[in-house]
Structure 1
Amino acid sequence: MSGGVGGVLLAAGAGRRYGLPKALAVAHGQLFLEIALAALRDGGCHPVVVVLGAAADRIRLVADLDGATVVVNRDWSTGMGSSLRVGLHTLRPAGVTAAVVQVVDTPGVSAAAVARLAAHAGERTIAAATYRGRQGHPVLLGRAHWPGVTRMAAGDTGARPYLVARARTLLAVPCDDLGDGVDVDRPAGLPDGSDA
């Protein structure tokens, strides 16, 4: 495959503040992981790479990962940066033009938001969804940016340092009307009171 937009779903963390890996947390009767995967898939991303780490074996048993390429980041405990590197490395042979990167703990991100972001895909594009004027997820990384992103991704910062360094060329894509980008750190943070 060449061209098109791939997806990278970062779902490797242990969820210490949440009390369990957030991939296993539940909102609206679904696992966070399944919600995020559906948003990427239904938003037009293909292929989609899911990066697991903590509790990977358990997650594989209980989650519907149909259609996804699942990889395990053995260094997941070092933070999101290593998972982003693993995800982009796995996606590289697909020959996609860009990647939509999503994190597992934002269940309010919709497929429509992913599609709106993906519509801006280009090899040199970098873009991020915004909510009430604040940058959030998902993030779109044109293929030309992957080497720089992977060099700078460290600890829990993911692509943030790279995006900050290129703030003048970062395209902000408002998605307020399509959901929310709230990062859920604790069960009480869910808008409808759902929990795991």
Structure 2
Amino acid sequence: MQYECTTCNKTYKISSLRYQCDCGNALALVRESHICPNPQVPGAMSLWRYREALPIDVDTDIVTLGEGMTPLVPLAVNVPEHFVKLDYLCPTGSYKDRGASVLLTHLKALGVETVVEDSSGNAGAAIAAYSARAGIHCTIYCPESTSQGKLRQISAYGAELKLVPGNRMATTEAVKRAAETTCYASHNWHPFFLE
């Protein structure tokens, strides 16, 4: 398994500090997939029910809070082929729990002890919660304008908060400086979150 740039095709070994190509573009995971026709893990009531389809070694301890398996509800009675997935029922209230579970499982397997992330809400809460479950120290960079409710939720999971003055881009720039020496658990860039 390796990373490959989605623009220039440069490849990289998997690393705890790598989340973006040197050219500034996104990375994708390149891996062999040997998925059987019915890749379900019996009894697993989370996204890990489909473990064989995920980019995590079989013998890796997973970091889970029971994310996934949320209901699908018909959007309208007379249009049965359109459904809405109720991912607000995930542990932190967001679909971002799915990516956080896979990413923190990967980072824990690499031996990462500290992560940083930038967010103004749901992603910060998800990374904070799954970092706590993994036993990984987490610092979330948030714009000063972030809602008090989201800041309390992030703090409730034990994450350290860094409030950044200015707009959302100022927050991203602050976390990128921290990411020069610390693992950036980015919900926007990290291939294991996006996979």
Q: Taking structure 1 as the reference length, what is the TM-score of the superposition? A: 0.33
Greater Rg by CA: 2
- Report the TM-score, using the length of structure 2 for normalisation: 0.33
